[in-house]
Structure 1
Amino acid sequence: MDWDVAIERNREALKRILAMLVAMVGLADGETTLPRRSHRAILALLRPVEAAARRLVIVVARDLVVSPRPRKVKPLPDTVFVRTGKGTGIVLPYGVKPSAILPNLVLRRAAPRTVALPLLDPLPKWPGGRHRQVGGVPRILAPGYSEPRFIPGRCRLSPDDRIDATRLALRLQAVGRALDDLPREARRFARWRRRAAAAGAQNLESGAAGKVRRVWPLRPGCPPGSCRGPAHQVHEVLADLQYFAFRALERRDSS
Protein backbone atom coordinates (compact mmCIF):
# COMPACT_ATOMS: atom_id res chain seq x y z
CA MET A 1 0.00 0.00 0.00
CA ASP A 2 1.33 3.42 -0.97
CA TRP A 3 0.76 5.51 2.15
CA ASP A 4 2.17 8.71 0.62
CA VAL A 5 -0.36 8.68 -2.22
CA ALA A 6 -3.25 8.13 0.21
CA ILE A 7 -2.02 10.92 2.51
CA GLU A 8 -1.58 13.47 -0.27
CA ARG A 9 -4.91 12.65 -1.94
CA ASN A 10 -6.91 13.04 1.27
CA ARG A 11 -4.94 16.10 2.32
CA GLU A 12 -5.79 17.92 -0.90
CA ALA A 13 -9.45 16.90 -0.58
CA LEU A 14 -9.61 18.25 2.97
CA LYS A 15 -7.95 21.50 1.94
CA ARG A 16 -10.58 22.02 -0.77
CA ILE A 17 -13.40 21.37 1.71
CA LEU A 18 -11.79 23.69 4.26
CA ALA A 19 -11.52 26.47 1.68
CA MET A 20 -15.24 26.05 1.00
CA LEU A 21 -16.04 26.38 4.72
CA VAL A 22 -13.89 29.50 5.04
CA ALA A 23 -15.78 31.01 2.11
CA MET A 24 -19.08 30.09 3.79
CA VAL A 25 -18.03 31.92 6.97
CA GLY A 26 -17.13 35.09 5.05
CA LEU A 27 -16.66 37.30 8.11
CA ALA A 28 -15.93 40.91 7.22
CA ASP A 29 -13.42 43.05 9.09
CA GLY A 30 -14.61 43.58 12.65
CA GLU A 31 -17.58 41.21 12.30
CA THR A 32 -17.68 38.20 14.65
CA THR A 33 -21.24 36.88 14.36
CA LEU A 34 -23.12 34.66 11.93
CA PRO A 35 -26.80 33.79 11.51
CA ARG A 36 -27.82 30.68 13.41
CA ARG A 37 -28.63 28.71 10.24
CA SER A 38 -25.18 29.46 8.75
CA HIS A 39 -23.41 28.67 12.01
CA ARG A 40 -25.11 25.27 12.27
CA ALA A 41 -24.50 24.43 8.62
CA ILE A 42 -20.77 25.17 8.92
CA LEU A 43 -20.49 23.33 12.23
CA ALA A 44 -22.16 20.24 10.77
CA LEU A 45 -19.36 20.03 8.18
CA LEU A 46 -16.56 21.19 10.47
CA ARG A 47 -16.95 18.22 12.83
CA PRO A 48 -16.22 15.58 10.15
CA VAL A 49 -13.43 17.77 8.75
CA GLU A 50 -11.73 17.84 12.17
CA ALA A 51 -12.21 14.09 12.60
CA ALA A 52 -10.76 13.41 9.14
CA ALA A 53 -7.77 15.71 9.76
CA ARG A 54 -7.14 13.94 13.09
CA ARG A 55 -7.08 10.56 11.36
CA LEU A 56 -4.80 11.93 8.67
CA VAL A 57 -2.34 12.96 11.40
CA ILE A 58 -2.49 9.42 12.82
CA VAL A 59 -1.64 7.98 9.42
CA VAL A 60 1.32 10.34 9.00
CA ALA A 61 2.64 9.34 12.45
CA ARG A 62 2.36 5.58 11.83
CA ASP A 63 6.15 4.88 11.92
CA LEU A 64 7.31 7.99 13.77
CA VAL A 65 9.45 7.60 16.89
CA VAL A 66 10.21 10.70 18.96
CA SER A 67 12.38 11.35 22.00
CA PRO A 68 10.90 12.82 25.18
CA ARG A 69 10.84 16.60 25.22
CA PRO A 70 11.60 18.58 28.40
CA ARG A 71 8.53 19.99 30.06
CA LYS A 72 8.03 23.71 29.57
CA VAL A 73 7.95 26.01 32.57
CA LYS A 74 4.62 27.75 32.98
CA PRO A 75 5.08 31.49 32.45
CA LEU A 76 4.27 33.93 35.19
CA PRO A 77 0.95 35.80 34.93
CA ASP A 78 0.90 39.27 33.43
CA THR A 79 -0.88 40.80 36.43
CA VAL A 80 -0.85 40.52 40.22
CA PHE A 81 -4.65 40.38 40.39
CA VAL A 82 -6.60 37.13 40.65
CA ARG A 83 -10.34 36.60 40.41
CA THR A 84 -10.98 33.26 42.08
CA GLY A 85 -8.64 33.54 45.04
CA LYS A 86 -6.43 30.70 43.76
CA GLY A 87 -2.73 31.44 43.55
CA THR A 88 -0.66 34.30 44.87
CA GLY A 89 -1.92 37.78 44.19
CA ILE A 90 -4.50 40.41 45.04
CA VAL A 91 -8.06 39.08 45.01
CA LEU A 92 -10.11 41.33 42.77
CA PRO A 93 -13.89 41.28 43.37
CA TYR A 94 -16.14 40.51 40.46
CA GLY A 95 -17.00 43.62 38.49
CA VAL A 96 -14.11 45.71 39.82
CA LYS A 97 -11.48 46.74 37.28
CA PRO A 98 -7.78 46.93 38.22
CA SER A 99 -7.71 50.59 37.16
CA ALA A 100 -10.18 51.40 39.95
CA ILE A 101 -7.62 50.25 42.54
CA LEU A 102 -4.40 51.36 40.84
CA PRO A 103 -5.17 54.15 38.33
CA ASN A 104 -1.59 54.23 37.00
CA LEU A 105 -1.36 50.47 36.45
CA VAL A 106 -0.52 49.42 32.89
CA LEU A 107 -1.40 45.84 31.96
CA ARG A 108 0.09 44.03 29.00
CA ARG A 109 -2.42 43.00 26.36
CA ALA A 110 -2.65 39.26 25.92
CA ALA A 111 -1.65 37.73 22.61
CA PRO A 112 -4.44 36.66 20.23
CA ARG A 113 -5.91 33.33 21.24
CA THR A 114 -5.28 30.30 19.09
CA VAL A 115 -6.41 26.70 19.35
CA ALA A 116 -4.75 23.50 18.20
CA LEU A 117 -6.35 20.56 16.46
CA PRO A 118 -7.39 18.04 19.17
CA LEU A 119 -5.46 14.80 18.86
CA LEU A 120 -8.15 12.66 20.51
CA ASP A 121 -11.74 12.08 19.53
CA PRO A 122 -14.32 13.41 22.00
CA LEU A 123 -15.91 10.47 23.78
CA PRO A 124 -19.64 9.93 23.15
CA LYS A 125 -22.14 10.96 25.79
CA TRP A 126 -23.57 7.73 27.12
CA PRO A 127 -27.33 7.68 27.75
CA GLY A 128 -28.69 7.48 31.26
CA GLY A 129 -27.11 10.61 32.64
CA ARG A 130 -29.04 13.08 34.75
CA HIS A 131 -30.82 15.64 32.62
CA ARG A 132 -30.61 19.16 33.96
CA GLN A 133 -33.29 21.55 32.85
CA VAL A 134 -31.94 24.97 32.00
CA GLY A 135 -33.99 27.97 32.97
CA GLY A 136 -36.43 26.11 35.19
CA VAL A 137 -38.69 28.00 37.62
CA PRO A 138 -39.59 26.59 41.06
CA ARG A 139 -43.29 25.75 41.40
CA ILE A 140 -43.57 25.62 45.19
CA LEU A 141 -46.83 27.08 46.52
CA ALA A 142 -48.18 27.51 50.04
CA PRO A 143 -52.01 27.52 50.03
CA GLY A 144 -53.33 30.64 51.72
CA TYR A 145 -49.94 32.39 51.74
CA SER A 146 -48.81 32.59 48.12
CA GLU A 147 -50.56 32.96 44.79
CA PRO A 148 -49.69 31.22 41.53
CA ARG A 149 -47.26 33.23 39.48
CA PHE A 150 -47.24 33.59 35.73
CA ILE A 151 -44.38 31.58 34.22
CA PRO A 152 -43.27 33.01 30.88
CA GLY A 153 -42.65 30.54 28.10
CA ARG A 154 -39.24 29.92 26.67
CA CYS A 155 -38.42 32.06 23.68
CA ARG A 156 -38.18 30.14 20.43
CA LEU A 157 -34.88 30.21 18.62
CA SER A 158 -34.87 31.91 15.26
CA PRO A 159 -32.62 30.78 12.39
CA ASP A 160 -31.77 34.45 11.81
CA ASP A 161 -30.39 35.03 15.32
CA ARG A 162 -26.78 36.19 15.35
CA ILE A 163 -24.30 33.80 17.05
CA ASP A 164 -20.72 34.50 18.01
CA ALA A 165 -18.43 32.81 15.45
CA THR A 166 -15.08 33.51 17.12
CA ARG A 167 -14.61 29.93 18.29
CA LEU A 168 -15.72 28.63 14.90
CA ALA A 169 -13.09 30.73 13.12
CA LEU A 170 -10.38 29.54 15.53
CA ARG A 171 -11.26 25.91 14.84
CA LEU A 172 -11.08 26.50 11.10
CA GLN A 173 -7.66 28.09 11.51
CA ALA A 174 -6.48 25.13 13.61
CA VAL A 175 -7.46 22.65 10.88
CA GLY A 176 -5.74 24.79 8.27
CA ARG A 177 -2.50 24.92 10.26
CA ALA A 178 -2.60 21.16 10.78
CA LEU A 179 -3.05 20.44 7.06
CA ASP A 180 -0.25 22.85 6.15
CA ASP A 181 2.22 21.20 8.55
CA LEU A 182 1.32 17.53 8.98
CA PRO A 183 4.80 16.48 10.25
CA ARG A 184 4.47 18.85 13.21
CA GLU A 185 1.06 17.44 14.13
CA ALA A 186 2.42 13.91 13.69
CA ARG A 187 5.17 14.65 16.21
CA ARG A 188 2.52 15.92 18.63
CA PHE A 189 0.60 12.67 18.28
CA ALA A 190 3.75 10.54 18.62
CA ARG A 191 4.66 12.35 21.85
CA TRP A 192 1.16 11.72 23.20
CA ARG A 193 1.44 7.99 22.43
CA ARG A 194 4.82 7.89 24.16
CA ARG A 195 3.44 9.57 27.29
CA ALA A 196 0.37 7.29 27.35
CA ALA A 197 2.52 4.16 26.98
CA ALA A 198 4.94 5.35 29.69
CA ALA A 199 2.10 6.11 32.11
CA GLY A 200 0.52 2.70 31.49
CA ALA A 201 3.83 0.89 32.04
CA GLN A 202 4.42 2.82 35.28
CA ASN A 203 0.99 1.88 36.63
CA LEU A 204 1.61 -1.79 35.82
CA GLU A 205 4.98 -1.77 37.61
CA SER A 206 3.64 -0.02 40.70
CA GLY A 207 0.48 -2.13 40.83
CA ALA A 208 -1.66 0.96 41.44
CA ALA A 209 -4.59 2.07 39.38
CA GLY A 210 -3.35 5.64 39.13
CA LYS A 211 -5.00 8.28 37.01
CA VAL A 212 -7.31 7.11 34.25
CA ARG A 213 -5.70 7.88 30.90
CA ARG A 214 -6.79 7.29 27.35
CA VAL A 215 -4.61 4.91 25.37
CA TRP A 216 -6.64 4.86 22.13
CA PRO A 217 -7.14 8.12 20.22
CA LEU A 218 -10.28 7.10 18.33
CA ARG A 219 -13.67 6.90 19.94
CA PRO A 220 -15.68 3.66 19.85
CA GLY A 221 -18.24 3.34 17.12
CA CYS A 222 -18.65 5.79 14.28
CA PRO A 223 -16.29 8.78 14.03
CA PRO A 224 -17.57 12.25 15.01
CA GLY A 225 -19.65 13.88 12.30
CA SER A 226 -20.19 10.70 10.27
CA CYS A 227 -23.50 9.74 8.71
CA ARG A 228 -24.95 6.46 7.45
CA GLY A 229 -25.34 7.64 3.88
CA PRO A 230 -22.61 9.93 2.47
CA ALA A 231 -24.29 13.30 1.99
CA HIS A 232 -21.12 15.30 1.31
CA GLN A 233 -17.62 14.67 0.02
CA VAL A 234 -16.20 15.10 3.52
CA HIS A 235 -18.08 12.00 4.71
CA GLU A 236 -16.43 9.91 2.01
CA VAL A 237 -13.01 11.27 2.96
CA LEU A 238 -13.73 10.56 6.63
CA ALA A 239 -14.74 6.96 5.86
CA ASP A 240 -11.49 6.37 3.95
CA LEU A 241 -9.32 7.92 6.65
CA GLN A 242 -11.13 5.94 9.35
CA TYR A 243 -9.94 2.76 7.62
CA PHE A 244 -6.40 4.08 7.09
CA ALA A 245 -6.12 5.27 10.72
CA PHE A 246 -7.06 1.82 12.05
CA ARG A 247 -4.52 0.24 9.72
CA ALA A 248 -1.83 2.66 10.92
CA LEU A 249 -2.59 2.08 14.61
CA GLU A 250 -2.61 -1.71 14.18
CA ARG A 251 0.66 -1.51 12.30
CA ARG A 252 2.29 0.47 15.12
CA ASP A 253 0.95 -1.89 17.82
CA SER A 254 2.14 -5.01 16.00
CA SER A 255 5.63 -3.65 15.32
Structure 2
Amino acid sequence: MKAAMDGTWAIEKNRVALTRIVAMLVAMAGMGAGRPGAGGVGAGGQFTFFPQKGAAVQNEARAEKSKLSPALTLPRHLYLAILRLLRPAEAAARRLIIAAAVGIVVTLPPPRPRKPKPAMLRGARAFLPKGPKKRAKVIPRNWSLSLLDPPRRPFRVSRRAVPAHAAPRILSLDFNASYRPLPPPSSPNDPIDARRIGLRLEALTAALDDLPGQAIRFARWKARRDAAIARGGPVSGRRRSPLRRGRPPGGRLSRYDPTATHSGRIREVDEILAHAHALAVYALDPPDTS
Protein backbone atom coordinates (compact mmCIF):
# COMPACT_ATOMS: atom_id res chain seq x y z
CA MET A 1 0.00 0.00 0.00
CA LYS A 2 1.32 3.35 -0.97
CA ALA A 3 0.00 6.22 1.13
CA ALA A 4 0.81 9.78 0.24
CA MET A 5 -0.94 12.32 2.38
CA ASP A 6 -1.58 15.65 0.75
CA GLY A 7 -1.26 17.59 4.00
CA THR A 8 -2.13 20.98 2.55
CA TRP A 9 -2.37 24.07 4.70
CA ALA A 10 -6.08 24.48 3.98
CA ILE A 11 -6.95 20.99 5.24
CA GLU A 12 -4.99 21.43 8.45
CA LYS A 13 -6.41 24.90 9.08
CA ASN A 14 -9.99 23.67 8.72
CA ARG A 15 -9.25 20.61 10.84
CA VAL A 16 -7.95 22.72 13.72
CA ALA A 17 -10.94 25.07 13.51
CA LEU A 18 -13.32 22.13 13.38
CA THR A 19 -11.65 20.53 16.39
CA ARG A 20 -12.24 23.71 18.35
CA ILE A 21 -15.94 23.67 17.43
CA VAL A 22 -16.28 20.02 18.46
CA ALA A 23 -14.65 20.83 21.81
CA MET A 24 -17.26 23.54 22.28
CA LEU A 25 -20.05 21.05 21.52
CA VAL A 26 -18.59 18.62 24.06
CA ALA A 27 -18.63 21.39 26.66
CA MET A 28 -22.21 22.33 25.75
CA ALA A 29 -23.34 18.74 26.23
CA GLY A 30 -21.73 18.59 29.67
CA MET A 31 -19.25 15.93 28.55
CA GLY A 32 -15.71 15.90 29.82
CA ALA A 33 -12.75 13.89 30.95
CA GLY A 34 -12.98 12.44 34.42
CA ARG A 35 -11.20 9.88 36.51
CA PRO A 36 -11.99 6.21 35.84
CA GLY A 37 -15.10 5.11 37.61
CA ALA A 38 -16.38 8.66 38.01
CA GLY A 39 -17.45 9.36 34.46
CA GLY A 40 -15.67 11.17 31.67
CA VAL A 41 -13.28 9.61 29.21
CA GLY A 42 -12.49 6.09 30.26
CA ALA A 43 -9.98 3.59 29.00
CA GLY A 44 -11.79 3.29 25.70
CA GLY A 45 -11.87 7.03 25.09
CA GLN A 46 -15.63 7.26 25.52
CA PHE A 47 -17.43 10.29 26.85
CA THR A 48 -19.86 10.38 29.71
CA PHE A 49 -22.49 13.01 30.41
CA PHE A 50 -22.27 15.01 33.60
CA PRO A 51 -25.35 16.62 35.18
CA GLN A 52 -24.90 20.37 35.10
CA LYS A 53 -24.55 22.20 38.40
CA GLY A 54 -27.59 24.05 39.66
CA ALA A 55 -29.93 21.92 37.58
CA ALA A 56 -29.27 18.47 39.03
CA VAL A 57 -32.55 18.29 40.97
CA GLN A 58 -34.54 19.59 38.00
CA ASN A 59 -32.88 17.15 35.61
CA GLU A 60 -33.54 14.23 37.93
CA ALA A 61 -37.21 15.18 38.22
CA ARG A 62 -37.62 15.46 34.45
CA ALA A 63 -35.69 12.23 33.86
CA GLU A 64 -37.85 10.40 36.40
CA LYS A 65 -40.96 11.38 34.45
CA SER A 66 -39.42 10.26 31.15
CA LYS A 67 -37.76 7.15 32.66
CA LEU A 68 -34.32 8.21 31.42
CA SER A 69 -31.11 8.50 33.35
CA PRO A 70 -30.27 12.14 34.22
CA ALA A 71 -26.69 11.53 33.11
CA LEU A 72 -27.83 10.58 29.58
CA THR A 73 -30.35 13.33 28.88
CA LEU A 74 -30.19 16.90 27.71
CA PRO A 75 -32.86 19.60 27.68
CA ARG A 76 -34.62 19.89 24.37
CA HIS A 77 -33.31 23.39 23.59
CA LEU A 78 -29.70 22.35 24.28
CA TYR A 79 -30.13 19.11 22.33
CA LEU A 80 -31.37 20.98 19.26
CA ALA A 81 -28.65 23.64 19.58
CA ILE A 82 -25.94 20.95 19.56
CA LEU A 83 -27.59 19.15 16.66
CA ARG A 84 -27.63 22.32 14.52
CA LEU A 85 -23.84 22.51 14.78
CA LEU A 86 -23.10 18.78 14.83
CA ARG A 87 -24.58 18.04 11.40
CA PRO A 88 -22.44 20.57 9.47
CA ALA A 89 -19.40 19.64 11.56
CA GLU A 90 -19.77 15.98 10.55
CA ALA A 91 -20.22 16.96 6.90
CA ALA A 92 -17.12 19.17 7.02
CA ALA A 93 -15.01 16.42 8.60
CA ARG A 94 -16.21 13.98 5.94
CA ARG A 95 -15.09 16.37 3.19
CA LEU A 96 -11.71 16.94 4.81
CA ILE A 97 -11.19 13.18 4.82
CA ILE A 98 -12.00 13.03 1.10
CA ALA A 99 -9.59 15.88 0.37
CA ALA A 100 -6.85 14.25 2.45
CA ALA A 101 -7.22 10.95 0.55
CA VAL A 102 -5.80 12.43 -2.67
CA GLY A 103 -2.79 10.40 -3.78
CA ILE A 104 -3.44 7.40 -1.54
CA VAL A 105 -3.26 4.09 -3.41
CA VAL A 106 -4.45 0.89 -1.74
CA THR A 107 -4.40 -2.71 -2.94
CA LEU A 108 -7.46 -4.74 -2.08
CA PRO A 109 -7.14 -8.44 -1.28
CA PRO A 110 -8.72 -10.82 -3.78
CA PRO A 111 -12.38 -11.54 -3.04
CA ARG A 112 -13.00 -14.78 -1.25
CA PRO A 113 -15.16 -17.21 -3.24
CA ARG A 114 -18.45 -18.06 -1.63
CA LYS A 115 -19.22 -21.74 -1.27
CA PRO A 116 -22.77 -22.40 -2.46
CA LYS A 117 -24.81 -24.64 -0.21
CA PRO A 118 -26.17 -27.83 -1.76
CA ALA A 119 -29.79 -27.65 -2.81
CA MET A 120 -30.53 -30.87 -0.89
CA LEU A 121 -29.25 -29.35 2.34
CA ARG A 122 -31.21 -26.15 1.80
CA GLY A 123 -34.41 -28.12 1.23
CA ALA A 124 -33.89 -30.43 4.22
CA ARG A 125 -33.43 -27.55 6.66
CA ALA A 126 -36.96 -26.39 5.95
CA PHE A 127 -38.36 -29.57 7.55
CA LEU A 128 -36.01 -29.79 10.54
CA PRO A 129 -37.45 -28.71 13.91
CA LYS A 130 -36.21 -25.37 15.11
CA GLY A 131 -34.24 -25.45 18.33
CA PRO A 132 -34.20 -22.86 21.07
CA LYS A 133 -33.04 -19.43 19.98
CA LYS A 134 -29.54 -18.54 21.05
CA ARG A 135 -29.14 -15.27 22.83
CA ALA A 136 -26.92 -12.93 20.90
CA LYS A 137 -23.89 -11.63 22.73
CA VAL A 138 -24.06 -7.98 23.55
CA ILE A 139 -20.95 -6.49 21.98
CA PRO A 140 -20.26 -2.77 22.40
CA ARG A 141 -20.46 -1.14 19.01
CA ASN A 142 -17.58 1.09 17.99
CA TRP A 143 -19.00 4.06 16.18
CA SER A 144 -17.08 5.62 13.34
CA LEU A 145 -17.80 8.66 11.22
CA SER A 146 -19.73 7.78 8.10
CA LEU A 147 -17.85 8.41 4.86
CA LEU A 148 -21.07 8.99 2.91
CA ASP A 149 -23.53 11.82 3.17
CA PRO A 150 -26.97 10.76 4.43
CA PRO A 151 -29.40 10.47 1.50
CA ARG A 152 -32.17 12.96 1.03
CA ARG A 153 -35.65 11.93 2.07
CA PRO A 154 -38.06 14.07 0.03
CA PHE A 155 -41.12 12.09 1.12
CA ARG A 156 -40.30 12.03 4.80
CA VAL A 157 -43.16 13.27 6.96
CA SER A 158 -42.00 15.21 9.99
CA ARG A 159 -43.85 14.44 13.19
CA ARG A 160 -45.07 17.54 14.93
CA ALA A 161 -47.10 18.00 18.07
CA VAL A 162 -50.76 18.72 17.42
CA PRO A 163 -51.94 21.85 19.25
CA ALA A 164 -54.91 21.56 21.57
CA HIS A 165 -57.25 23.58 19.35
CA ALA A 166 -56.52 21.32 16.34
CA ALA A 167 -57.09 18.00 18.13
CA PRO A 168 -60.28 16.07 17.30
CA ARG A 169 -63.10 16.54 19.79
CA ILE A 170 -64.61 13.07 19.36
CA LEU A 171 -63.03 10.98 22.10
CA SER A 172 -65.05 7.79 21.92
CA LEU A 173 -68.51 6.56 20.94
CA ASP A 174 -68.72 4.79 24.27
CA PHE A 175 -70.17 7.17 26.87
CA ASN A 176 -68.74 5.05 29.69
CA ALA A 177 -65.18 5.34 28.42
CA SER A 178 -62.72 7.10 30.70
CA TYR A 179 -61.62 10.57 29.70
CA ARG A 180 -58.06 10.81 28.38
CA PRO A 181 -56.62 14.31 28.46
CA LEU A 182 -54.48 15.58 25.64
CA PRO A 183 -50.72 15.17 26.05
CA PRO A 184 -48.99 18.30 27.30
CA PRO A 185 -47.22 20.41 24.66
CA SER A 186 -43.52 19.98 24.25
CA SER A 187 -41.36 22.18 26.43
CA PRO A 188 -37.81 23.47 25.77
CA ASN A 189 -36.76 21.81 29.03
CA ASP A 190 -38.06 18.33 28.22
CA PRO A 191 -35.34 15.67 28.65
CA ILE A 192 -34.13 14.12 25.40
CA ASP A 193 -32.09 10.93 25.19
CA ALA A 194 -28.58 12.16 24.32
CA ARG A 195 -26.69 8.88 24.11
CA ARG A 196 -26.67 8.95 20.31
CA ILE A 197 -25.28 12.48 20.25
CA GLY A 198 -22.54 11.38 22.63
CA LEU A 199 -21.54 8.56 20.28
CA ARG A 200 -21.56 10.91 17.29
CA LEU A 201 -19.36 13.42 19.09
CA GLU A 202 -16.98 10.63 20.05
CA ALA A 203 -16.76 9.37 16.45
CA LEU A 204 -16.24 12.90 15.13
CA THR A 205 -13.46 13.60 17.64
CA ALA A 206 -11.70 10.33 16.77
CA ALA A 207 -11.91 11.11 13.04
CA LEU A 208 -10.39 14.57 13.44
CA ASP A 209 -7.60 13.20 15.62
CA ASP A 210 -6.71 10.55 13.03
CA LEU A 211 -7.29 12.21 9.68
CA PRO A 212 -4.59 10.17 7.82
CA GLY A 213 -6.13 6.91 9.02
CA GLN A 214 -9.59 8.03 7.96
CA ALA A 215 -8.19 9.03 4.56
CA ILE A 216 -6.84 5.51 4.07
CA ARG A 217 -10.25 4.20 5.09
CA PHE A 218 -11.87 6.33 2.40
CA ALA A 219 -9.31 5.16 -0.16
CA ARG A 220 -10.34 1.56 0.58
CA TRP A 221 -13.99 2.45 0.05
CA LYS A 222 -13.15 4.15 -3.22
CA ALA A 223 -11.13 1.16 -4.40
CA ARG A 224 -14.00 -1.21 -3.63
CA ARG A 225 -16.42 1.07 -5.46
CA ASP A 226 -14.15 1.28 -8.52
CA ALA A 227 -13.72 -2.50 -8.54
CA ALA A 228 -17.49 -2.97 -8.45
CA ILE A 229 -17.93 -0.53 -11.33
CA ALA A 230 -15.16 -2.23 -13.34
CA ARG A 231 -16.91 -5.59 -13.02
CA GLY A 232 -19.90 -4.10 -14.80
CA GLY A 233 -23.51 -4.19 -13.88
CA PRO A 234 -25.29 -2.24 -11.18
CA VAL A 235 -23.31 -1.17 -8.12
CA SER A 236 -25.59 -2.77 -5.58
CA GLY A 237 -25.36 -1.38 -2.08
CA ARG A 238 -22.72 1.18 -3.07
CA ARG A 239 -23.08 4.80 -4.02
CA ARG A 240 -21.07 6.19 -6.88
CA SER A 241 -20.32 9.43 -5.05
CA PRO A 242 -19.86 9.96 -1.31
CA LEU A 243 -21.32 13.48 -1.59
CA ARG A 244 -24.95 14.14 -2.24
CA ARG A 245 -26.09 16.75 -4.70
CA GLY A 246 -26.87 20.28 -3.69
CA ARG A 247 -25.93 22.02 -0.49
CA PRO A 248 -23.99 19.98 2.09
CA PRO A 249 -25.97 18.64 5.06
CA GLY A 250 -26.57 21.33 7.65
CA GLY A 251 -24.74 24.03 5.68
CA ARG A 252 -26.01 27.53 5.00
CA LEU A 253 -23.58 28.48 2.22
CA SER A 254 -24.00 27.26 -1.34
CA ARG A 255 -20.36 27.93 -2.32
CA TYR A 256 -17.08 29.02 -0.82
CA ASP A 257 -15.99 32.62 -1.41
CA PRO A 258 -13.22 33.90 0.90
CA THR A 259 -13.74 37.52 -0.20
CA ALA A 260 -17.50 37.62 0.43
CA THR A 261 -19.02 39.21 3.52
CA HIS A 262 -21.72 37.22 5.26
CA SER A 263 -24.57 38.18 7.55
CA GLY A 264 -24.86 37.18 11.17
CA ARG A 265 -26.86 34.11 10.15
CA ILE A 266 -23.72 32.50 8.70
CA ARG A 267 -21.74 30.69 11.37
CA GLU A 268 -18.08 29.72 11.46
CA VAL A 269 -18.94 26.08 10.84
CA ASP A 270 -20.78 27.11 7.65
CA GLU A 271 -17.62 28.74 6.26
CA ILE A 272 -15.54 25.69 7.21
CA LEU A 273 -18.07 23.39 5.55
CA ALA A 274 -18.17 25.45 2.36
CA HIS A 275 -14.35 25.45 2.12
CA ALA A 276 -14.13 21.72 2.89
CA HIS A 277 -16.82 21.02 0.29
CA ALA A 278 -14.82 22.87 -2.36
CA LEU A 279 -11.71 20.85 -1.43
CA ALA A 280 -13.62 17.55 -1.60
CA VAL A 281 -15.21 18.35 -4.98
CA TYR A 282 -11.80 19.24 -6.37
CA ALA A 283 -10.33 16.00 -4.96
CA LEU A 284 -13.06 13.83 -6.48
CA ASP A 285 -13.06 15.51 -9.89
CA PRO A 286 -9.90 17.55 -10.46
CA PRO A 287 -9.94 19.78 -13.54
CA ASP A 288 -8.03 18.73 -16.65
CA THR A 289 -4.95 20.96 -16.88
CA SER A 290 -3.37 19.18 -19.85
Per-residue Cα deviation, 1:127-152 (whole angstroms, up to 9, x for no partner): xx37597999xx9x9xxxx5477675
CA distance in 2, matches of 1:253, 1:117: 31
Aligned to 2:36: none
Aligned to 1:249: 284
CA distance in 1, matches of 2:14, 2:147: 18
Counterpart among 14, 25, 28 of residue 50 in structure 2: 28
CA distance in 2, matches of 1:130, 1:177: 31
Counterpart among 201, 204, 216 of residue 172 in structure 1: 201
Shift of 1:5: 0.6
TM-score normalised per structure 1: 0.71
Any stretches of 5+ residues in structure 1 without a counterpart? 73-87, 93-97, 99-106
Say if 1:62 and 1:252, in contact at 8 Å, map to a contact too.
no
The count of residues paired between Structure 1 and Structure 2 equals: 212
Say if 2:161 and 2:186, in contact at 8 Å, map to a contact too.
no
CA distance in 2, matches of 1:20, 1:155: 33
Report the AA paired with residue 164 of structure 1.
Answer: D
Shift of 1:11: 0.8
CA distance in 1, matches of 2:152, 2:81: 21
Per-residue Cα deviation, 1:92-148 (whole angstroms, up to 9, x for no partner): 7xxxxx8xxxxxxxx97x45433100000011112xx37597999xx9x9xxxx547
Report the AA paired with residue 238 of structure 1.
Answer: L
Indicate yes or no: 2:118 matched with 1:118: no
Shift of 1:210: 6.0
Q: 1:10/1:210 Cα in 2 relative to 1: closer, same or farther (>3 Å)?
A: closer
Taking only aligned residues, the RMSD between alpha carbons, in angstroms, comes to 3.4
Indicate yes or no: 2:74 matched with 1:43: no
SS at match of 1:215: coil
Aligned to 1:199: 228
CA distance in 1, matches of 2:204, 2:281: 21
Say if 2:229 and 2:235, in contact at 8 Å, map to a contact too.
no
Shift of 1:3: 5.5
Counterpart among 180, 185, 190 of residue 161 in structure 1: 190
What aligned pairs does 1:70-109 form with structure 2 within 5 A after superposition? 90-91=132-133
Report the AA paired with residue 238 of structure 2.
Answer: R
Q: What percentage of aligned pairs have identical amino acids?
A: 45
Q: 1:17/1:69 Cα in 2 relative to 1: closer, same or farther (>3 Å)?
A: farther
SS at match of 2:232: helix
Shift of 1:67: 1.0
Indicate yes or no: 2:250 matched with 1:225: yes
TM-score normalised per structure 2: 0.63
SS at match of 1:90: coil
Indicate yes or no: 2:46 matched with 1:4: no
Shift of 1:155: 3.3
Say if 1:62 and 1:251, in contact at 8 Å, map to a contact too.
no
Q: 1:160/1:186 Cα in 2 relative to 1: closer, same or farther (>3 Å)?
A: same
CA distance in 2, matches of 1:165, 1:91: 32
What aligned pairs does 1:204-219 form with structure 2 within 5 A after superposition? 204=233, 209=234, 211=236, 213-219=238-244
Aligned to 2:107: 67
SS at match of 1:63: coil
Q: 1:70/1:116 Cα in 2 relative to 1: closer, same or farther (>3 Å)?
A: farther
Query: Which has the higher relative contact order, 1 or 2, with Cα contacts under 8 A spaced 6 or more apart?
Result: 1
Shift of 1:238: 0.4
Q: 1:112/1:132 Cα in 2 relative to 1: closer, same or farther (>3 Å)?
A: closer
Any stretches of 5+ residues in structure 2 without a counterpart? 1-5, 31-48, 52-68, 113-129, 163-167, 254-262
Q: 1:253/1:111 Cα in 2 relative to 1: closer, same or farther (>3 Å)?
A: farther
SS at match of 1:203: coil
Question: Runs in 1 of length 4+ with deviation above 4 angstroms?
Answer: 69-72, 130-136, 146-152, 252-255
Shift of 1:63: 1.3
